[in-house]
Amino acid sequence: MQCTPKIAVYPGTFDPLTLGHLDIIERACGLCDRLIIAVAPNRNKAPLFSLEERLSIVHENVATLSGLTTDIEILPLEGLLVDFAHKHGADFVVRGLRAVSDFEYEFQMAGMNARLTPAIETVFLIASDRCQFISSSLIKEITELGGDVSQFVSLAVRERLRRKTSK
Ligand code: COA
């Protein structure tokens, strides 16, 4: 019997992508045959990096992951997440959970998405110990104030942050 390949979508604003996101990407790869990383415009969050920059950041960081057999695709997230997931034939959505504080927002979002499209499940991965406190907003704040973010983001992201905040 032939199994149909499992497809997952990992959505986020990724402003910027952190080691926490990379941890989720690597682990999500163990759950599916194809992972679509969907980068949201999320203009209401007023991102520091443009959508094009965030897509390029995700591309360059994912390229550094080794030993993955999963097919990874990186796309802009257009429209509703559930419509995007449906259009790409996804079986489930992956989200990372850090602390109890994430739970309420994620619970609400997963609930709304389940009402909109019951066929698409949301699977939560608990952030690894070393990534529990990482937050994109705090990383931007620390960089702007001259702090060291090397333990939270890749070297490439740190360099992009430095260039962006020195403008
Ligand atoms: N490790 C470390 N940090 C993590 C993490 C992990 N495993 N998982 C999330 N984060 C952090 C990020 O750094 C970020 O921090 P910040 O709040 O300080 O910026 C925060 O968690 C969330 O960012 P991100 O993971 O990029 O996702 P998001 O919450 O911005 O993404 C979408 C939200 C894209 C999923 C949502 O807006 C969406 O679905 N949009 C499409 C439109 C839609 O369908 N809307 C209806 C939804 S019901």
Average pLDDT of the segment spanning 113-131 = 95
Distance in Å, CA 2 to ligand 1 centroid: 35
Q: Which residues are near ligand 1 (CB < 6 Å)?
A: 11-14, 18, 20-21, 24, 40, 42, 77, 80-81, 96, 98, 109, 112-113, 127, 131, 134-137
pLDDT band at 1 (very low <50, low <70, confident <90, very high): low
Contact (CB, 8 A) for 72 and 37: yes
pLDDT of 38 strictly over 90: yes
Direct distance between the N- and C-terminal alpha carbons of the chain, in angstroms, rounded to an integer: 57
Q: 95 or 2: whose pLDDT is higher?
A: 95
What domains can be seen in the chain, in order of their start residue?
A: 7-165 (3.40.50.620)
Q: Which residues share a beta bridge with 94?
A: 123
Q: How far apart are CA 17 and CA 102, in angstroms?
A: 17
Which tens digits make up the pLDDT trace of 18-36? 999 999 999 999 999 999 9
Annotated catalytic residue: which of 136, 140, 154, 160? 136
